[in-house]
Amino acid sequence: MNGLVLTFHLAGINNQNFLMRDEQTGSFWQQITGRAISGPLAGRSLRLIPSDELTLALWKTERPNGKLLKEVAADAAEYEPKDWDKKLQKSFPTVLNFPEHGLGNRAIMLGIDAFGEARAYRYEQVIGEKLVIDRVGSEPVILLVGPDGLSVRAFQTGGRPGEFFRTSDGGMMDSGTGSRWNFQGCAVDGQLKGACLERVEAIKDFWFDWRNYHPATSVYTGNGKLIGKRPAP
Amino acid sequence: MASLAVALFFLGYPNYVIRPQRHQGARELQAALTVLRFQHVAELLCAAVALVALLMYLRSAPRRASLIGPIAAAITVLAIAALSRVNIYEVMFHPAGAPAFASVRESKLDGSERVLAVSAGSDARGYPIRAIAYHHIVNDVAGGLPIVVTY
């Protein structure tokens, strides 16, 4: 930014989302938004780069040459135990409270902020449905669960013929051309072979935090139903 | 005494406002962050003022005057100034430092472990969630692009 490469340090907490500070200017940045809220760079935003939260097994099949971060030996004993995010739901109260849509404050959501709308999906519901066919703002969007039953990716499907169906191998087929699609959103055979759907960024977040930063968010209820505010198309 | 009060304020106020189990209002957060940005300079000034004041007092104090109070006050200011240099968040969550990587094929982690996966060109990097949920921040470079991974 401004020709500087910024190095970040953990610096505080704001309603249970952390703040970080860059060494170069001393500005404070909010983690969930990537925006500087105080200091010389206040108002500037870091560019969000695409990322996935995947199981290691699935990532290994996609990226066999991938590099995995090594643990810091001195700290490894303090790393979070398995199911830490589920355990948090029971034990760690939040300071913000949004008892809407029947959601607990620490319900784990996948949030999409695109095409003029903020929309949140309950993670447990998405992996239960395995393929969510929905709209965000003006655009048709799908959320696809990977063959591991746990990883989720969101794609834009506008302009594609027909509907998507999930296949038993964890991929998809489209009813328009009968092409088969993989978890990377690319057609692996059929008429559309080689074409890829465009990714849509979905962030995993606790409901209270997503709602705090997206006050007008709508929430997906399942099977194509909608609750919450939605702007007129 | 004034420098003690100021030193206490610059250390105490931000730590009071920015606490995990407390709600932060937007204005008080801005105030606390502004205090934090000037904390280092303020604490240095307080330490300097305290030392100078102590020296002046020692020079001009009557013989029988108790020196314990002023010396204790000066030491307290220095201690507060030193304490303000400690980043309590990095004490609770040690920084990851310069990240080291190994080929995913060598990993002994269970396949069900979650990773945050980032690709830049042919550079594919995975950050185990349980590790970055602790470190919170990893300063890294992927495909030549400086990035910061946060969780």
Residue A43 has pLDDT above 60, yes or no: yes
Number of independent structural domains in chain B: 2
- State whether A28 and B95 contact (CB < 8 Å): no
3-state secondary structure of B88: helix
Domains of chain A: 1-49 (no CATH), 108-227 (2.102.10)
- Is B99 inside a domain boundary? no
Query: Residue B132 is part of which domain span?
Result: 104-150
Interface of B with A in 24-83 (CB under 8 A): 24, 29-30, 33-34, 36-37
State the pairing for strand pair A17-22/A28-30: antiparallel
Interface of B with A in 124-143 (CB under 8 A): 124-139
Confidence of residue B125 (pLDDT cuts 50, 70, 90): very high
Q: Are A40 and B100 in contact (CB under 8 A)?
A: no
A to B CB pairs, distance under 8 Å? 195
- Is B93 inside a domain boundary? no
Q: What is the pLDDT of residue B63?
A: 66
Q: Are residues B80 and B32 in the same domain?
A: yes
3-state secondary structure of A68: strand
**Chain B partners of A95 at a C-beta cutoff of 8 Å?**
21-23
- State whether B34 and A11 contact (CB < 8 Å): no
Residue B140 has pLDDT above 60, yes or no: yes
Q: Are residues B68 and B114 in the same domain?
A: no
- Is B98 inside a domain boundary? no
Q: Are B113 and B128 in contact (CB under 8 A)?
A: yes
**Chain B partners of A31 at a C-beta cutoff of 8 Å?**
136, 150
Which of B39, B89, B110, B115 is the best mutation test for A, with the most CBs of A within 10 A? B115
Edge-first strand order for the sheet with A28-30 is A8-14, A17-22, A28-30, A35-38
Q: Which residue of B has its CA nearest to A51?
A: B118
Q: What is the pLDDT of residue A22?
A: 95
Q: What is the pLDDT of residue B96?
A: 92
- Is B91 inside a domain boundary? no
Confidence of residue A82 (pLDDT cuts 50, 70, 90): confident
Q: Are residues B109 and B61 in the same domain?
A: no
- State whether B136 and A28 contact (CB < 8 Å): no
Q: Tell me the pLDDT tens digit for each residue of A175-214.
A: 888 999 999 999 999 999 999 999 999 999 999 999 999 9
Q: Are residues B15 and B47 in the same domain?
A: yes
- State whether B150 and A64 contact (CB < 8 Å): no
Interface of B with A in 84-113 (CB under 8 A): 87, 89-90, 93-97, 99-105, 107, 109-113
Number of H helices, E strands in chain B: 5, 5
Which of A45, A69, A105, A196 is the best mutation test for B, with the most CBs of B within 10 A? A69
- Cβ count within 10 A of residue B112: 12
Q: Are residues B81 and B11 in the same domain?
A: yes
Q: Is 0.90 surpassed by the pTM of this model?
A: no
State the pairing for strand pair A117-122/A218-222: parallel
Q: How far, in Å, are A9, B11, B38, B86, B142 from residue B83 at the CA level?
A: 18, 8, 15, 5, 36
Average model confidence (pLDDT) across chain A: 89
Residue A170 has pLDDT above 90, yes or no: no
Q: What is the pLDDT of residue B17?
A: 66
Q: Which residue of A has its CA nearest to B133?
A: A80
Q: Which of A10, A54, A69 sits opposite B136 (nearest CB)?
A: A10
Closest-CA distance, B10 to chain A, in angstroms, reads 15
Residue A224 has pLDDT above 80, yes or no: no
Q: Are residues B82 and B114 in the same domain?
A: no
Residue A159 CB contacts under 8 Å (≥ 6 apart), including other chains: none
Token readout for A69 is 């971060």
- Is B53 inside a domain boundary? yes
Residue B150 at interface with chain A, using a CB cutoff of 8 Å: yes
Q: Are residues B78 and B112 in the same domain?
A: no
Q: Tell me the pLDDT tens digit for each residue of A95-147.
A: 888 988 889 999 999 999 999 999 999 999 999 999 999 999 989 999 999 99
Q: What is the pLDDT of residue B127?
A: 97
Q: Are B64 and B33 in contact (CB under 8 A)?
A: no
Q: Are B149 and B118 in contact (CB under 8 A)?
A: yes
- State whether A38 and B34 contact (CB < 8 Å): yes
Q: Are residues B111 and B77 in the same domain?
A: no
Q: Tell me the pLDDT tens digit for each residue of B76-99.
A: 888 888 888 888 899 999 999 999
Residue A232 has pLDDT above 50, yes or no: no
Strand partners, A76: none
Calculate what percentage of chain A has a pLDDT beyond 70.
94
Q: Are residues B117 and B70 in the same domain?
A: no
- Is B92 inside a domain boundary? no
